[in-house]
Amino acid sequence: MHDISTLTVGLGTRAYDISVGRGLIARADDLIGAFLNDRHIVVISDSKVAPVHLPALMTVCARVGRRCDTIEVPAGESSKSMPVLAKLLEDILALGVDRGVVLVALGGGVIGDLVGFAAASLLRGVDFIQVPTTLLAQVDSSVGGKTGVNAAAGKNLIGAFHQPRAVLADLAALDTLADRELRAGYAEVVKYGLLGDAAFFEWLEAHGGSVLARDDASLRHAVTVSCEAKARIVEADERESGKRALLNLGHTFAHALEAVCGYDGRLLHGEAVGTGMALAYDLATEMQICSGQDRGRVHAHIAASGLVTRLGDSPAAHADTASLIDIMRRDKKVRDGRMRFVLPRAIGDSYVSDEVREDVLAAVLEASR
């Protein structure tokens, strides 16, 4: 299949392929038939994605599976919660599954994280496959095995590492994606340029408009380069003891912004990441780690992508600085009581720091209002 790009996440006996191309859902039996043949398949989707993409996937499952079931959960970030997870697990068990079941996550990052955590927990671990239908999920959350749900104390604080058996990134699924969701996913694409690939960021400055206009070749390149970068980082540091933490560029800010908005849909994860990356460059510039020129380029590109760079323009603007910092203190990246931020030295060069003074952080947040 020459029209499909295949990347491998090399994790020894748990290695898996990421397939990128158009029309992959309809060809899923050719691409991942080995994981579906004569299996009990349970496809989990949400109320927004299921009407659009579930029929095509179920046609494939019916061809190869021994038994095929579907479960639908409500759309939105609020489904990444313990109550929804508990109901999902009970619903799966009610189907009479055994350890030979394979769960298929059909949807965006919320579905992927939720179903992955269900797979990690169910019968102490069963197989699952990621079929991401948003740009954010295709380039980031579907790859790497991070699964979980949100807690009242913060985002992604309950979860497990559980790698999928395969990832199918069908670019055709992005045809029906809302522009807002596409922009939110694009923030994660930009992240890969900023954290370790200055040449890719330069390409995005030139071609980001084409990606957002859904030009097929541009989208394919953006998704493939992002997945390749994520795969290499995951191979080097599967459980985030070192290099993988760089993938959190902008996320310490972003998770706090999301938390104060209550995961109610006012602020999408990728939108928060866009603002968070701008704030990370503000902080690094204030600490004299990064040049104002690089900060200006990053702010300009994020803004040109239709994303917010200033806290004052964000749906989280109502939150006072002390509240935001308090949430950051509870972030899962905190070690020994010290907050950890991914900070840029330059575009394409980032590192993890636990030496951010709270007064400087507060000043940066205030200046962004």
Given a contact cutoff of 8 angstroms between Cβ atoms, the answer to whether 146 and 159 are in contact is yes
The mean pLDDT value for 252-264 works out to: 94
Residue 92 pLDDT: 98
Which sequence positions are flagged as catalytic?
Answer: 124, 146, 188, 230, 240, 244, 248, 251, 255, 269
Q: Does residue 1 surpass a pLDDT of 60?
A: no
Q: Does residue 75 surpass a pLDDT of 80?
A: yes
Q: Does residue 2 surpass a pLDDT of 70?
A: no
Band of residue 337 on the pLDDT scale cut at 50, 70, 90:
confident
Residue 328 pLDDT: 95
Write down the domain spans for the chain: 5-176, 179-367
Q: Which CATH number describes the domain made up of 179-367? A: 1.20.1090.10
Band of residue 54 on the pLDDT scale cut at 50, 70, 90:
very high
Q: Does residue 310 surpass a pLDDT of 90?
A: yes
The mean pLDDT value for 152-159 works out to: 90
Q: Does residue 68 surpass a pLDDT of 90?
A: yes
Measured over the CA atoms of residue 357, residue 358, residue 360 and residue 365, the dihedral's sign is: positive
Average pLDDT, the chain: 96
The mean pLDDT value for 314-325 works out to: 97
- E-state strands within the chain: 5-9, 16-21, 40-46, 67-73, 102-107, 127-132, 146-151, 154-161, 166-170, 341-346, 349-353
The mean pLDDT value for 288-302 works out to: 98
Percentage of the chain lying above the pLDDT 70 cut: 99
Region for residue 184 given its phi and psi (left: phi exceeds 0; alpha: psi -120 to 50; beta: otherwise): alpha
Closest listed residue to residue 185, CA positions, set 268, 264, 115, 262: 268
List, for residues 199-234, the tens digit of each pLDDT value. Answer: 999 999 999 999 999 999 999 999 999 999 999 999
Measured over the CA atoms of residue 140, residue 154, residue 108 and residue 190, the dihedral's sign is: negative
Q: Which CATH number describes the domain made up of 5-176? A: 3.40.50.1970
Closest listed residue to residue 331, CA positions, set 150, 94, 166, 92: 150
CB neighbours of 178 closer than 8 A, spacing ≥ 6? none
Which amino acid, 129?
Answer: I
Q: Does residue 137 surpass a pLDDT of 90?
A: yes
pTM above 0.85, yes or no: yes
Band of residue 153 on the pLDDT scale cut at 50, 70, 90:
confident
